[in-house]
Structure 1
Amino acid sequence: MSTPTPAILRPEDYGATLGKDATSAFQKLFADVDRRLGRDAGGSVPVATVEIQLAGSYTVSDTITTPAPGRAQGLTIRGTGKRSTEIVMTGAAPMLVNQDRWMGVRFYDLSFRSTNPAATCLISYGAVGAQDWGWTNCEWRGTWLRGIGLDGGTNSNLNSEFMFDRCTVTGSYEDAWFHSGLSPQYPQQDQFLNYSFRDCKMEARYGDILRFDKGGAINVSGGSWIHVDKRPDGKPSRFFYMPATTHYDSVQSLTVVGTRFEPRDPANLVIDSSWKGQVQFIGCMDDAWAFKAYSAADDYAPHRYTNPGGVRYQGCQLTGRHRYTQTAAPSRQAIVYDQCARTVASRRTKPAFLDLQGGYVASMRISHRDDRDGIN
């Protein structure tokens, strides 16, 4: 395999014109990317020798990546800025499909927008080749089924090391913006792990933000997470949703540091988790809407856990109640509140703050340390 001359590729080079559907142009562009792969001096996976540069608004109606066998790595797609560069999806198909091929892919300074509520921005099928994708200063907006979905079959693996830096999520998501484990019947999908979200603005109208039926090991730092509205069907929108499925212990980890949450409707939740691993919020707050009357209601519980393992809140400002449902005898459980405070005065006692349900609540281990409201 010879090494082609490095180049900059643009959709306009393949026939994209302003105001017309550019699906065919993008498909030709990505096919050319595959033809220009070069040798990796340090390994056996071919590398991209081009960079894709976008400027302006492009409309597409079908999947724009082209299937190809084997693995590839090191592709960069670069725009000129959020909203000044965007790809608009009008069709129901996934805009991007990674069929266990690409790793080391980077997106910079562009937006993805959908006008079709059945669309998905990216579906990544992982076995051995899908990993290490990153987005910097990118945005998702419009109406979607989901933003990013991770899937795979009996040989599922990888789909790991996804990083989001100073990204923005607006619009609506009928499923979720990021959904790991689209086919949770495959235990191997618990090998999907290591996801970082740094200083992101999650400001969706409605829909779950992170949903993990499989996989995990999630780190969130900084940022502002907002649900602007409630779902039309009345169901909750959740920032973190970990439904009750089987998981390996090693992937059930969520750490959130210095993040500000605004659910903005009593139906919306900060977290709904059935994980038995470790969940911790450090220096976070969800009290921006504590002035609303519903924040003092007994049934307002924006943090909810079912049969949890380790839960820790440290130095957080909290609104509403925290609901724990224990339907089985707890094992290796520790729930700790360390130097936390409740914004609403009526929630500053243990019975008023904790909403304990299920037949095994008497066996739960919940402790309060150096509590700012005097709970012990």
Structure 2
Amino acid sequence: MDKSKIGRREFLVGVAASIVGLVSGGVLGGRVFTREPALQNVIVESTNQSPSWINVVDFGADPTGVKDSSNAFIRAIRHVENSIAANPASLALGNNTARGRVKLYVPEGCYIIRKPDALMSRTLRKKTLGFVIQGAGRGLTQIYYLNESSGKYLLSNSDAWLGISVSDIEFISKNGKNNFMYSYSEGAAQNYTFERCMWSGNWNYVFRLEGTNNNSEMTWYHCNFSGTVNAALYVPADKGSDQFLNYNFFSCQFEVEEGDYLVLEKGGNVNLWGGSIMHYDETKGGTFFKLKNGSHHGGVERFSCIGARFEHRNKNSKLIECEWNDGTVSFISCDMSSQAFQLEPSVNAIFRSINQKMPTIIFQSCILMGMHEYRYLSRSWATPHNVTYLSCEFAHGLMADQFIVYTMEEQSLEEFSAGRPSIKFLNCRSIHATHETGFYDSDHGYQYNNRAMLTKKVISVKSSFGALPYKGEAETFQLPLGALILNVKFISKPDSVKSQSKAEYWVETSENQPTRIAEVYAEQASHGFTADSNPLFECDTDPKRKLRLCSGSQVDERNAKGLCLIEYIG
């Protein structure tokens, strides 16, 4: 049996009892282990070794939520520190990192802590691998932090502990100035795992990371953040480092009244898989992801969010604010649409070029609401940008020209418009798309960009019968605003229809006086027809992008084999 797994679900009664050398009572006070009939006749020999688990109640902690348990936790943590041992395998590993030897169990109940650093002391300086705090389960074990001094933390790691594991505990704070964990690293502090933990109530920083190196390899499994939070994870620019990286969130819930989820002014390389992310207040909000400061070292500017569900319940709830100058930002198969029915469209995502290139930005197979804003400066044109929306749906029913907002942040230099990124929309659609508005693919903003990689798009237009219109009918369709029509082809092979009547088709605008863009005419429809024209027509107004494929009044047979092909860029 792997003893390291004790406590990840429930303590295994017989195995744990044999390890600790208890049948009843003992160092865990009978709170974890109970005698079962199958174990009544087991003979346990004492080894006079310290137990690998200690129970905070045996150090005087009060699980009723009445008395202050600060000193009990401090005593228990001191016992953990005093149990640190040298690593017998240090020569093989080539380092002298010590090893933790005792795990702290916090049974069910509510424990009041008023003193900071009660769960981890900032005074420890010895580099040590292996720190474990285990609760009985979310909601079952509660730690109620009632510190009244600002700038203090419940846990403080001063570049000492690595390989930290905290599980199955709800942490509650009433004071919005309270902080949960401060981690300072010059290379030691790293590799934290928080599993099935909750942070409820009012918090300032849940995790604040500072130092010069590491503070990396941190993972949160099935954790919850609720209430108000200044920032769940914060790395400041002045005291952080681009050596901070690899933060992973698996199926976590960030469902808060107000606050930011991740604020990274340094460092990065972030992964989120699944989870529920929302601001549930009707007026308060925040920004879920802040990726700040334009210039970073290589290897940290990567952000990936896959399969998460978001709720923006008011205009102050924002998805992301990104200033990175490189790397990648990816949202894949995320849904942000649930509140679109009750909100007017507003900007909820901001990407900024600080006279540098933006990261490669992609939204793939997402349902998006609101608008996305791209901000730039007078020298943003000097480097290429790469922004793509692939197979996305837009919940507010906006077309690309309505969904994207460009903002020049130097108002006195607005003529330098070439810095706005050209944005690709591929296989996208509005949630309210109809047969008239189904064509969404575009290279939006290319007209103003100094370097734009364009792709030709070819569309086919037919009636609801899968044929070219007839008897004077017309098929209405819409191209993206700013599209430039390069070519129009009409094709019908001989004997595609049997009609001996004339064949006449054309494409025109919906202006008050329609502009005919391309046309074809044949004396006898059964003989077939071809027409190939290069109109170079710009769809720069609504009437010019709302087009009609028209048929002449003498067309008396639907032509299912005929084609009208329109090629455009933009």
Q: TM-score, normalised by structure 2?
A: 0.61
- Residue 425 of structure 2 is aligned with which of 364, 368, 372? 368
Counterpart-to-counterpart distance in 1, 2:417 and 2:248: 33
Which residue of the partner structure matches residue 24 of structure 1? 71
- 1:12 partner amino acid: V
Which residue of the partner structure matches residue 270 of structure 1? 319
Structure 2 CA distance for partners of 1:132 and 1:342, relative to 1, 3 Å: same
- 2:56 partner amino acid: P
Deviation of 1:290 after TM superposition, in Å, equals 0.8
Larger RCO (alpha carbons 8 Å, 6+ apart): 1
Deviation of 1:142 after TM superposition, in Å, equals 0.7
Structure 2 CA distance for partners of 1:151 and 1:245, relative to 1, 3 Å: farther
SS at match of 2:126: coil
- 1:351 partner amino acid: D
Deviation of 1:368 after TM superposition, in Å, equals 1.5
Counterpart-to-counterpart distance in 2, 1:161 and 1:254: 15
Counterpart-to-counterpart distance in 1, 2:228 and 2:97: 37
Counterpart-to-counterpart distance in 2, 1:61 and 1:245: 40
Deviation of 1:231 after TM superposition, in Å, equals 6.9
Which residue of the partner structure matches residue 218 of structure 1? 270
Structure 2 CA distance for partners of 1:130 and 1:351, relative to 1, 3 Å: same
Counterpart-to-counterpart distance in 1, 2:163 and 2:293: 32
Counterpart-to-counterpart distance in 1, 2:115 and 2:324: 36
* CA displacement 1:214-257 (0-9 Å, x = unmatched): 1100000101101112676xxx5011012335422321110000
What does residue range 152-163 of structure 1 map to in structure 2 within 5 Å?
152=211, 156-163=212-219
- 1:172 partner amino acid: T
Which residue of the partner structure matches residue 59 of structure 1? 112
- Residue 77 of structure 1 is aligned with which of 114, 120, 133? 133
- Residue 97 of structure 1 is aligned with which of 120, 143, 156? 156
CA contact (8 A) 2:314 2:343 kept: no
Structure 2 CA distance for partners of 1:369 and 1:42, relative to 1, 3 Å: farther
Counterpart-to-counterpart distance in 1, 2:305 and 2:384: 21
CA contact (8 A) 2:266 2:293 kept: no
Aligned length: 358
Which residue of the partner structure matches residue 329 of structure 2? 279
Which residue of the partner structure matches residue 37 of structure 1? 84
- 2:68 partner amino acid: D
Deviation of 1:309 after TM superposition, in Å, equals 2.3
Question: Which piece of structure 1 moves more, 72-81 or 14-23?
Answer: 14-23
- 1:329 partner amino acid: S
Counterpart-to-counterpart distance in 1, 2:50 and 2:97: 18
Question: Which piece of structure 1 moves more, 214-223 or 304-313?
Answer: 304-313
Counterpart-to-counterpart distance in 2, 1:13 and 1:332: 63
* CA displacement 1:340-360 (0-9 Å, x = unmatched): 110122x1x221110011145
Counterpart-to-counterpart distance in 2, 1:39 and 1:375: 63
What does residue range 78-227 of structure 1 map to in structure 2 within 5 Å?
78-91=134-147, 92=149, 93-152=152-211, 156-173=212-229, 175-181=230-236, 184-186=237-239, 189-227=241-279
Structure 1 outlier segments of 4+, above 4 Å: none
CA contact (8 A) 2:266 2:292 kept: no
Which residue of the partner structure matches residue 374 of structure 2? 324
Question: Which piece of structure 1 moves more, 63-72 or 200-209?
Answer: 63-72
* CA displacement 1:126-157 (0-9 Å, x = unmatched): 111110001111100011111111112xxx11
Q: TM-score, normalised by structure 1?
A: 0.91
CA contact (8 A) 1:73 1:103 kept: yes
Could you tell me which runs of 5 or more consecutive residues in structure 2 were left unpaired when the two chains were aligned. Answer: 1-47, 91-95, 409-413, 431-439, 443-570
